[in-house]
Structure formats: structure tokens, C-alpha cells
Amino acid sequence: ETWRYAFEEALDEVQGVYAQKFKEEVEANSDHTVQLFPYGTLGESADTMEQAQTGILQFVDQSPGFTGSLIPEAQVFFVPYLLPQDTEKLGEFFRTSKAINEMFPELYAEQGLELLTMFPEGEVCMTTQEPVTGPPDLDQVKFRVMTNPLLVESYKAFGATPTPLPWGEVYGALQTGIIQGQENPMFFIESTKMYEVTEVITCAGHNNFTTAVMANKDFYDGLSEEDQTVIQNAIDVAFDHIIDYQKGLHEESIEKIKEAKPSMQVNTLSEEERQPFVEAGASVEETFLEMTGDGGKKILDQLKADLEAVQ
């Protein structure tokens, strides 16, 4: 059988590297073939999610940045300063977290999805036209965010004018000045050449990009136990691979950016400069709880406990 797997990035970007490892493992250990669909081949993230829910796709990688509108609790990944930045620690968290491995699968199942894994893609940094040393510098800045209500609230709290857009519109919108900023992990800022259409990168440590891989649930439930095991093993091997792959990736990407555009400023905010963003983050946590009620509180509390266990 041929299984179709779509993701939101190019083949040589983090989600693509993950998908290639998954494919390699499945094909080495079964008679199945995995056909990969990188970003752009089947539409935007919202389109591939729909295709996975209806079963046109067997597998999809969609980040909570987009899934948050479908599963409100998945917005928890946008509570600022919740996740640590250390990839190893994050790896351990995603491997062991009860919130991730036991609570979220139930919520995804309600949407017809078998949640297979979540993994980190790196510290999220802002790219803008002007330097950002605190929230006042984001005043009047139209800032692109993924289509996620809580992320909109974060950037409101950070003082910007958030503009939710699908990925495909971001480069052009920066180029034409419709927006003046966006956020993404460093590898993605480099590979998608965001530095060509912005002047300054600012890392405030407010988030680490999380993504999720899932299967169509009817498809998955209909598989033999043997095939399910092949999939679970491939998911685990690819997970270890992607944590390993990201060692030093943030720093290497900065070097590549500076080589391509020497005038690009890359700033990491000091503890003191971060403080107003941290404080704004507290109100975003409140908003998350208002949006998601008891279910959201349970997930947030468990997630915090899981994080504490790996700190």
C-alpha cells in the first residue's frame, strides 16, 4: 500500500527531515511505501489538515499554530515563556509528558485524528524592520502570526498589531509592507529567506516552535497491530533523529544569514529586556484559561507538572 504524508515545510527543512526519516523506517520495515508531499504541493496547512481528516491523506504534520483553531487546547503552546529552549530538555519533555502523550491524543481523536507525536523545531525569533528592545517598539507594527487566536492575543499583549495569515502570504506581505514583522525558528528564517525582506532578528525567548504529526484515525484504527507497531517505531526513530539533527542548527542558521546579508542585525534580549514580555505573557495565560475553561486548565497544569519533572 502507498501511504500519503503531507507536511508544512520543504524536504530539507525540519518537518521534511523528520518525514524522510519516517518514510525510510516504514519502508525498511514493511511492504508499504510512503509518498511525501512537501509544503505547497497540496495547498496550505488548513487544506492538508482537511485532507487528513477526510482520509485523502493518511498522515499530516500540522503545527498547533494552525490546529489551535480546530482544537482550542492546542493553543497552550502559545502561552509565552512556558517551554524551555534547550532542545535536549524539550526532547525529554515531549517523550515523557503525560499532557502530550495521554491527554492531547483524546482531543485529536475527537477530530478524527490519531496524534502520533509532537516535537520541537527551535526557538522562535521575531524578524522586523526596526530593532525591538521592548513592547513599545512593536507599537503600530503589523505582525504576522499563524492563524491561532491565542497567538493573536500574545502579540496584542506584546504591543503589536497581530495579523493572522497562512504561510504562503508572508514573504509577499513583508515585501509590499502590508506587514512589518513575523516570527519563526532561525532555521526557517534562513531557509525561507525572511532576512531578505526584514532588517532585524530579535530573540526574546518567548516560545519554542512545536509541531505535531498525526494519522487519519479511521485509517490508523483499521491497520493490523503489526502495521501500527511499524508506524510507532518509525515515529520514535524519527523523533530521536530530529532532536539530534537540530543540535547547533540555530547558531548555524545565524551564520548563514549573516553571510547572505551582512547588514542583518541579530539581537538576543537580555533578562532585563525580556521582563516586560514575560509580564505580558501572564495575561496571555489568563486568556488561554478563559478560552478553554476546565479542559484547558487541566492540560496547562499537567504540562507544567511534566515540564517541572524534566527541569
Contact stretch for ligand 6CS (CB under 6 A) within 98-106, 183-191, 238-246, 272-280: 183-191
- Contact letters (x/-) for ligand 6CS, 93-132, by CB under 6 A? ----------------------------x-----------
Task: Provide, rounded to whole angstroms, the least separation between the CB of residue 242 and ligand 6CS.
Answer: 13
Piece in contact with ligand 6CS (CB under 6 A), picked from 91-99, 135-143, 182-190, 194-202: 182-190
Scanning residues 199 to 218, which ones bind ligand 6CS (CB under 6 A)? 209
Check: CB of residue 176 under 8 Å from CB of residue 299.
no
**C-beta closer to ligand 6CS: residue 104 or 187:** 187
Round to whole Å and give the CA distance between 169 and 153: 21
Phi then psi for residue 114, to 5 deg, are -95, 110
Q: Which is nearer to ligand 6CS, 78 or 167 (CB)?
A: 167
Does residue 146 belong to the site contacting ligand 6CS (CB under 6 A)? yes
Residue 81 burial (CB count, 10 A): 18
* Binding window for ligand 6CS (CB under 6 A); candidates: 85-93, 101-109, 184-192, 264-272: 184-192
The answer for residues whose C-beta is within 8 angstroms of residue 236's C-beta and 6 or more apart is 117
Helix (H) or strand (E) holding 161: strand 161-164
Q: Which DSSP letter does residue 58 get?
A: S
> Among 230, 276, 192, which Cα is nearest to 59's?
230
Q: How far is the CB of 226 from ligand 6CS (least distance, A)?
A: 32
CB 275 to ligand 6CS: min, Å: 26
> Residue 167 burial (CB < 10 Å; 0-12/13-18/19+)?
buried
Shortest CB 302 distance to ligand 6CS, Å: 25
Among 3, 8, 59, 156, binds ligand 6CS (CB under 6 A): 8
Q: How far is the CB of 185 from ligand 6CS (least distance, A)?
A: 5
Of the residues 63, 75, 198, 287, which one makes contact with ligand 6CS according to CB under 6 A: 63
> Residue 34 is placed in which grid cell?
510512503
If binding is defined by CB under 6 A, does position 185 make contact with ligand 6CS? yes
Only one residue has cell 525569533, namely: 125
Q: Where are the alpha helices (DSSP H) in the chain?
A: 14-29, 45-54, 64-67, 87-96, 98, 104-109, 149-157, 170-176, 186-191, 217-221, 225-245, 249-260, 271-310
Q: Is 143 in the site for ligand 6CS (CB under 6 A)?
A: no
**Shorter beta-carbon distance to ligand 6CS: residue 210 or 302:** 210
User: How many residues sit in the footprint of ligand 6CS (CB under 6 A)?
Assistant: 11
C-alpha cell at 294: 476546565
Among 18, 167, 195, 288, binds ligand 6CS (CB under 6 A): 167
Nearer to ligand 6CS, 113 or 300 (CB): 113
Residue 143 C-alpha from the chain's centroid: 17
Query: Measured between alpha carbons, how far is residue 302 from residues 135, 290, 309 in Å?
Result: 30, 17, 11
Q: Could you say which of 4, 5, 9, 113 contacts ligand 6CS (CB under 6 A)?
A: 9
- Nearest residue to 281 via CA among 156, 133, 194: 156
| Chain residues in the site for ligand 6CS (CB under 6 A) | 8-9, 45, 63, 121, 146, 167, 184-185, 188, 209
